[in-house]
Chain A
């Protein structure tokens, strides 16, 4: 469970790593549909490999 912090009188959640990863994963999936530069493609592959690595360790 993410921690909460008090900011300007309101309680705000700290970003949850799992939720953030899911959001990024969704964004990456949408990127695949677009025409990518070599650099963008490298970054996307890096993200995918990082996730695969995390899955293998889990």
Chain B
């Protein structure tokens, strides 16, 4: 059993294995209980790069393309937000992939686009810093 806290726009703010009492009624947040275990819920949408997930990765500029793997079991498509650009990826056998260029320095922030369905936390968020050369 997990508890899910939603913002007033329906976006999932956080979820926990323990019963949540930390939601803020003044902000019109709500809490709901779901009969599913924490790991199953967390694994519905995960992003990884080079086998690493849920952390900030750092790479050098022009160090080659980065392959990001997305796991989204049971879905045929999934919407991903890449620095505000939302793209729909085809999911095959629960997996999808996308490629990031390291040609330009900056920060990539990848997260689920549908925040009412997936929480942008833990392994569902991937931050990749492309450091300038020199």
Contact = CB atoms under 8 A, between A and B. Distances in A.
B106 A2 contact: yes
- Give the size range of A's interface with the partner: 10 to 19
A49 interface: no
A11 B104 contact: no
Nearest to A14: B104
Nearest to B82: A4
Contacts of B130: 13
B111 to A, nearest CB: 12
Contact residues of B: prevailing secondary structure: strand
B83 A2 contact: yes
Interface residues of B, number: 20
Interface string A21-49: 01100100000000000000000000000
B54 interface: no
B84 interface: yes
B75 to A, nearest CB: 20
A57 interface: no
Given A6-B85, A26-B134, A11 B105 contact: no
A35 to B, nearest CB: 22
Interface of A: 1-7, 9-16, 19, 22-23, 26
Pick the 9 closest A-B CB pairs, nearest first.
A4-B83, A13-B106, A2-B106, A12-B101, A13-B104, A16-B106, A10-B99, A4-B82, A10-B101
